Amino acid sequence: MVRFSLGRSARPQQHAAVRSRNRRPQQAQPSGGDPPPPPVPPEPEPEPGPPTGGDPAPADPEVPRLTVTQVEQMNVEARVTDIYRVLWGGSPNTQSIILELWRDQHIEYLTHGLRHLGPAFQILDANRPWLCYWMVHPLALLDEVLDDDLEDDIVDFLARCQDKDGGYGGGPGQLPHLATTYAAVNTLVTIGSERALSSINRDNLYKFMLRMKEESGAFRMHDGGEIDVRASYTAISVASLVNILDVELAKGVGDYIASCQTYEGGIAGEPYAEAHGGYTFCGLAALIMLNEVEKLDLPSLINWVAFRQGVECGFQGRTNKLVDGCYSFWQGAAIALTQKLVMVIDEQLKSSYSSKMPSGDDACGTSSSGCASEKLSSAVDYARFGFDFVQRSNQVGPLFHNLALQQYILLCAQVLEGGLRDKPGKNRDHYHSCYCLSGLSVSQCCAMTDTNSCPLPQHVLGPYSNLLEPIHPLYNVVLDKYYTAYEFFQPSD
């Protein structure tokens, strides 16, 4: 069971046995922050005479040896425990102050980054549309409106990143890439002006995506680039968002993503690799947009994601890895998506808990959407799937501890000077600011049953002023901005 606090972990424990390889170490440390050294094996008893072979005495089999990962995990738990002790020891008024979202500082940090970045950022020269997205999107979450001149500058810059043959590169004149195309389109959708949305050349964008399409159904990130689930998600997300997704682009994607689901239940970047939180979100969201989500083993996926939330209250990205604030979105949004898929999950549980569902080539899926052959009709309105999905009510309450996740973000990820970070001891950055705040929005809204209502105060940790703008969880853009783009890209009568 996911715990809201570190209470059990904070108790000293005896080193009695080596923990399982597949479990995160639960041993917390004293409040000092540095873990105690691993236990030293006792000196061997003196022998009656010298050893005959000159071999050293064997180590005590009862004393475990800690791995580097276990020591790092205990260090993180100790830091987080120290932070949470301050919260637990405070009065209700003090706790409310401690749990406040520092809006003004975050806005200043993000706005300053849009106007000026130092020389150290030259290493991200091929990721400049991402930098725009990592700042523009969290500002929208904070309900901060950019001034017109800054918006125009961003639109003009992204227009220079748009390749003449379709797609967006990492900067002007750079190779078009699906990841930076996703970042550029999401940024323009978040700005939301007619000038921003009309700057997207959808005809060339469609041609670019067809060039990235593989016979297997998957996508390449760029010409000659890697093939993975991230490429499939970014292609399907952009195509759905700007209403160019059709049968040709959708064909085979679902089967490729399903082949990347691992024995653990999560989704890997490619077949036979390790389950990963980012790829799990990407694969699940893409299949929802394609209306083929029944191709995944959803009960197994939920089980894997839910157990990635640890005693620190945040999420880890993979088994036996450290907590990381960015997975507040990647894992938190993935499991939040499944709250709207209860009918599919119930059917899968009735059919078989342990086996994967048959593919569309062999039989009809179990969801109400019908057979794959019906979905591949040329009349399919793929853009409608994303619209209808967000209109559904949550069919079950949160499947993770949403208040605990908010606690981790507010106490362990916020930086006093503005911006958010991976974990205590790390520096702030725009990437983690974007995805920590996105995860905070998801965790505030996931307890709602009516999609048109606001979260209740008991679902928002700290003062109610912490409430962020809701997002469309499939695309990770603010919901109002999504509706504007959806209407803009509808075909004219």
**Average pLDDT of the segment spanning 388-398:** 93
Whether residue 242 lies inside any domain: the answer is no
Q: Determine phi and psi for 115, rounding to 5 degrees.
A: -95, -30
**Distance between CA atoms of residues 55 and 64, nearest Å:** 22
HEC secondary structure over 184-238: HHHHHHHHCCHHHHHCCCHHHHHHHHHHHECCCCCEECCCCCCECHHHHHHHHHH
pLDDT of 38 higher than 80: no
pLDDT at 351 (0 to 100): 86
Q: What is the DSSP string of 367-382?
A: STT--HHHHTSTT--H
**Average pLDDT of the segment spanning 293-302:** 97
> Which range, 6-10, 27-31, 252-256, has the best average confidence (pLDDT)?
252-256
Q: What is the CATH number of the domain that holds 451?
A: 1.50.10.20
pLDDT of 21 higher than 50: no
Q: What is the mean pLDDT of the chain?
A: 86
Whether residue 170 lies inside any domain: the answer is no
With bands split at pLDDT 50, 70 and 90, how would you rate the model's confidence at 57?
low
Q: What is the pLDDT of residues 451-488, one digit of tens each?
A: 778 999 999 999 999 999 999 999 999 999 999 999 99
Q: What is the pTM of this model?
A: 0.84
Whether residue 421 lies inside any domain: the answer is yes
Q: How many domains does the chain have?
A: 1
Whether residue 282 lies inside any domain: the answer is no
Please work out, in degrees rounded to the nearest 5, the angle formed at the alpha carbon of residue 385 by the alpha carbons of 380 and 391: 145
**Average pLDDT of the segment spanning 279-308:** 98
**Average pLDDT of the segment spanning 365-384:** 56
Whether residue 448 lies inside any domain: the answer is yes
User: What proportion of the chain, given as a percentage, has pLDDT over 90?
Assistant: 76
At 58, list the tokens: 């064997």
Lowest mean pLDDT across 230-239, 252-261, 391-400: 391-400
Whether residue 441 lies inside any domain: the answer is yes
Q: At what angle do helices 327-337 and 277-290 cross, to 10 degrees?
A: 40
Whether residue 334 lies inside any domain: the answer is yes
Please work out, in degrees rounded to the nearest 5, the angle formed at the alpha carbon of residue 8 by the alpha carbons of 101 and 78: 55
pLDDT at 246 (0 to 100): 97
Catalytic residues: 276, 318, 321, 324, 326-327, 422, 429, 432
- Give the CA-trace dihedral at 230, 231, 233, 238, to 10 degrees: 130
pLDDT of 378 higher than 90: no
**Average pLDDT of the segment spanning 366-378:** 43
The 3-state DSSP composition of the chain as helix, strand, coil percent (nearest 5) reads: 50, 5, 45
Whether residue 281 lies inside any domain: the answer is no
The whole domain housing 342 covers 67-99+298-349+396-478
pLDDT of 344 higher than 60: yes
Lowest mean pLDDT across 236-245, 400-409, 445-454: 445-454
